[in-house]
Amino acid sequence: MVLLMLCTLASAQKKSFCIECHVKLDDPRLSAPAKLFENDIHRGRGLSCNDCHGGDPNATTSEAAKDPGKGYLGKPRALDIPAYCGKCHSDANLMKRFNPSLRVDQESEYYTSVHGKLLKTGEQRVATCISCHTVHGIRAINDPLSSVYPLNVADTCAKCHGSSDYMQGLKIPTDQVVKFKTSVHAKALYQKQDLSAPTCNDCHGNHGAAPPGIASVANVCGQCHARQADLFQTSPHKAAFDQQGLAECLTCHSNHDIATPTDQMIGTEQGALCINCHQSGDKGFVAAGHMRSRIDQLIASIDKSNEILSLAERKGMEVSKPKFELKGATDALTHARVLIHSSSIAEVDKIVGPGLEVATKGHQAGLDALSELSFRRKGLAVSLVFIIFLAVLVFLKIRQIESRPPIAK
C-alpha cells in the first residue's frame, strides 16, 4: 500500500483537494492542519495529507475523498499513532529513498520506553510521536524551530512532566524540568548555547525514554564525561554502590539539578559529601581528608607563586616565561579534581606531587626576579652616587677657575 501511495506522490503534490477544501473550512480543528502544513517536512519532501490519512486527493467532495475504498484511514486514535507514523518510519526500503542515513527504529524503540509500554496498557496521557514532534507542522530535527531541537526539548517534555495537574494520580514527581533549568548543564546549553551539553533526551534516549537503571548511570554520563566514568568504574565505589543500591554519579551529583562541583564537596569537614557515608577511622574518611589537604596545598602553593610573580611583573620585571610554566601546576590541579573519582590517595598524589614542584619553581622564579630587581636598584644607586660625586667635582673645579684673579694683559 505504501508503494501505491508513493506512486501517487507526484500527482498528489500537484493538486490536493484535501488542502484546497480544508484550508477554507471555518472550524479551526479542520482548517489548522492545512494551514500548518505549509512548513511541514513531509510537505517539503513531496508528501501530502493522503500519505498519512489515505483517501483520494483528487476528489472534490469530502465524501468521495474519504472513500474507504481509496484507503481512507481518518484521524488515528492515540493508541494507533506509533503505527500510523511507523508505516513509513519503520520501513527501511521506503525511507532509504528519501534519506538513507535516517534511522528506522523509532517505533520499535518507542515500545521499549515507559511511554510505549504504558500506552499499550491504555494509559492515554503518555507521549506518542506527535506529543514530541507535533503534527501537521513537523520540522526536521535540526531546524531550530523544531519542538525537539536541543534548546526546545525541555519545554516539549515540560508540557506534561512540568504539570502536576496533567500528571495527577501518576506516581512520579513533576520537578525534573524546573530542576534541570538550574543545572550546570542548562547553563551551558542556554547561556553559552553549547549544544554539546545534555538535555532530557541525551540522558533518557530520544525514543526509548526510561530512567536509566541506577547501575548504568555511569554509562549515560560517561558518553561525555568518559574520564570520570572510567575512574569511577575501577574505583572501590563501583562495587560498593552497586551492592548497596546507590546510584552511580547521582549519589554525589544528583541527576537533574547538577551543580558546579567545589572542593568543599570533598574532605571531612561539614558539608563534604564523603562524611555522609564515611566515619572517622575508616579508610574512606582518611582518604577524604588526605585528598582535600593535598588539593588545598596545591592551591595555596599556586596562589603564593602567582602573587610573587605578579608583584615582580608590576615592578617591570620580565616573568612571562615562569608565569606560563605555572600553567603546569593549574593543569595538575584540574587533573587532581578529576582523579578524586578513583578514590585512590596514590592516584591523586601522583599528580599533586609534580604540580607542587612546578608551583615551587614558579615561586623561586618570582623570588629571583625580585632579588635581581633589588640588585639593579643597588647598582643604580651606586652609579647615581658616583655621578653626583663627579658633578660636585666639576662644579668645584669651575668655581676654582672663576675665582682666580684675572690675568693682567
Q: 66 to 95, contacts with ligand HEC by CB under 6 A?
A: 74-76, 81-82, 84-89
C-alpha span between 240 and 56 (Å, rounded): 64
The span of 49-57, 315-323, 354-362, 376-384 binding ligand HEC (CB under 6 A) equals 49-57
- Residue 184 CA to residue 166 CA, distance in Å, equals 28
Q: Is the distance from CB of 341 to CB of 238 less than 8 angstroms?
A: no
Taking CB under 6 A as the criterion, which residues in 191-250 touch ligand HEC?
194, 196-204, 206-207, 209-212, 214, 217-218, 220-221, 223-225, 228-229, 232, 236-237, 240, 244, 246-250
Name the residue among 71, 53, 41, 251 with its Cα closest to residue 149. Answer: 41
Q: Are 200 and 153 in contact (CB under 8 A)?
A: yes
Residue pair 95/6 in contact (Cβ under 8 Å)? The answer is no
User: Between residues 158 and 370, which has the closer beta carbon with respect to ligand HEC?
Assistant: 158
Residues 323, 329 contacting (CB under 8 angstroms): no
Nearer CB in complex with ligand HEC: 308/352: 352
356 binds ligand HEC (CB under 6 A): no
Q: Smallest gap, in angstroms, from Cβ of residue 376 to ligand HEC?
A: 42
User: Rounded to whole angstroms, how far apart are CA atoms 195 and 182?
Assistant: 17
- Smallest separation (angstroms) from ligand HEC to the CB of 310: 24
What cell numbers appear for 4 in the block?
501505491
Kindly identify the residues of this chain, within the stretch 130-149, that bind ligand HEC according to CB under 6 A. 130-133, 135-136, 138, 140-141, 148
Closest CA to 235 of 347, 160, 133: 347
Instruction: With CA atoms as reference, report the closest residue to 57 among 2, 8, 4.
Output: 8
Q: How far apart are CA 70 and CA 57, in angstroms?
A: 10
Rounded least distance, CB 14 to ligand HEC, Å: 14
Closest CA to 199 of 185, 211, 212: 185
Over the window 95 to 134, marking each residue x when it contacts ligand HEC by CB under 6 A and - when it does not, the resulting string is ---xx--xx--xx--x---xx--x------xxxxxxxxx-
- Is 42 near ligand HEC (CB under 6 A)? yes
Among 119, 137, 258, 329, binds ligand HEC (CB under 6 A): 258
Question: Does 29 engage in binding with ligand HEC (CB under 6 A)?
Answer: yes
Q: Does position 329 bind ligand HEC by CB under 6 A?
A: no
Nearest residue (CB) to ligand HEC, 274 versus 329 = 274
- Residue 54: closest CA among 38, 70, 43, 40: 70
Residue 1 CB, nearest approach to ligand HEC (Å): 10
- Give min distance, CB of 356 to ligand HEC, in A: 16
DSSP, collapsed to helix, strand or coil, labels residue 147 as coil
Closer of 348 and 365 to ligand HEC (Cβ): 348
Residue closer to ligand HEC by CB (options 209, 352) is 209
The answer to whether residue 333 forms part of the interface with ligand HEC (CB under 6 A) is no
Q: What is the residue type of 217?
A: V
Q: How far apart are CA 401 and CA 15, in angstroms?
A: 118
CB of 326 vs ligand HEC, minimal distance in Å: 19
How many residues bind ligand HEC, per CB under 6 A?
146
